[in-house]
Amino acid sequence: MGLSELEDRIVAAVDAIGPSVASVESLKVGRWRGPSPFATPGQATAIVWERSGYLLTNQHVVDGATALRVHLADGRELPGEVVGGDAVTDVALVKVDGVEIPPARLGDSDKLRVGQVVLAVGHALGLPGGPTVSTGVVSALGRPLLGSDFIFEGLVQTDAAINPGNSGGPLLDLSGSVIGINTAMMPYAQGVGFAIPIHAAQRITDELRRRGRVIRPWVGVQVAELSPELARTHGLVPGSGLLIAEVVPRSPAHRAGLRPGDVLTRIGPFEVHRVRELIESLSKFPVGSDVTVGVQRRGHRFDATVPLEETPEVPVARR
């Protein structure tokens, strides 16, 4: 592909997404050195998800907001209402009434390749005059990112510039299809930003549309993958399971008799060697069901029955 053709494809992709990118202004009330409240405005981005007025953005954008104003690409400004949000994936669904707006075209995030050219679009820094476009590549796939007390899993890492105000905006491929939702940038790094894969966001959004929240099963353990170093320290076999570092008091795991130092080897019929496998395995069981887990303790293997509960709410990571 020549430079001229690449430029044409970038311009066409930006033109295609333009009508489906909105600016979101949030108003959050806080306090400063006294009892009187004050309001702080925030600026971010949203993607038109459905023609009937549903928009997708980040949960940290709408968390704690007392009011939302949505600025559409055609110049209309409308109040927005939060339909639901999910702090674990940082996805939120917002609704504006009385409009029909062109939705974004979705791509296939499962087919992304490291090195693929991508575009980040959003209202960076809240600058006037429409959204900002930056170019880069997919730097890595399946990245974890530490939140306040949990980990965002499976993120797309990119070196396309993502700045404050880009949150909730689209990460595009060269066809103009959305393959990710921009969610975080690292202020102390150069060229390191993250996006939620669009397939993950789509699953979450469908549930937010139905219920207003995401219901996940919960065991109540903190685990670590058995790297060679960690396995050697504990006298275990590398990759043989997940080391339980902590058991939450009064959690399902605690009631099932699991202890720190145990190795979790299986959830139902699914072997677990990585944290992502644990999350994916648990998602296959409904809240309220009993699941049989494989445990290794001091060389002995046994099964335990864990009654799954709904995951407690987690704090929203501030970005």
pLDDT digits (tens, 9 = 90+) for 184-241: 777 777 788 999 999 989 888 988 988 888 888 889 998 888 888 888 877 788 878 9
- Catalytically active residues, by annotation: 60, 90, 167
Interatomic CA distance for residues 167 and 44, integer angstroms: 5
pLDDT at res. 315? 45
3-class SS string, the chain: CCHHHHHHHHHHHHHHHHHHEEEEEEEEEEECCCCCEEEEEEEEEEEEEECCCEEEECHHHHCCEEEEEEECCCCCEEEEEEEEEECCCCEEEEECCCCCCCCCCECCHHHCCCCCEEEEEECHHHCCCCCEEEEEEEEEEEEEEECCCCEEEEEEEECCCCCCCCCCCEEECCCCCEEEEEEEECCCCCCCEEEEEHHHHHHHHHHHHHHCCCCCEECCEEEEECCHHHHHHHCCCCCCCEEEEEECCCCHHHHCCCCCCCEEEEECCEECCCHHHHHHHHCCCCCCCEEEEEEEECCEEEEEEEECEECCCCCCCCC
User: What average pLDDT does the structure give for the chain?
Assistant: 87
Dihedral Cα 85, 89, 27, 159, nearest 10 deg:
-150
Q: Residue 60: phi, psi to the nearest 5?
A: -70, -15
Which of 108, 106, 118 has the alpha carbon at shortest distance from 158? 118
Per CATH, is 18-95 categorized as 2.60.120.10? no
Distance between CA 201 and CA 126 in Å, rounded?
24
Domain 217-310 in this protein, CATH class = mainly beta
CATH 3.40.50.720 fits 109-211, yes or no: no
pTM (2 decimals)?
A: 0.75
Asked whether this chain's domains 18-95 and 109-211 adopt the same fold, the reply is yes
Q: What is the dihedral of CA 166, 167, 168, 174, to 10 degrees?
A: 40
Cα 280 from Cα 69, distance rounded (Å): 36
Choice between 131 and 1, residue whose per-residue pLDDT is larger = 131
Is residue 37 pLDDT above 60, yes or no? no
Confidence label for 44 from pLDDT (cuts 50, 70 and 90) = very high
Residue type, 293: V
> Mean pLDDT over residues 107-132, rounded?
91
Q: Where are the domains of the chain?
A: 18-95, 109-211, 217-310
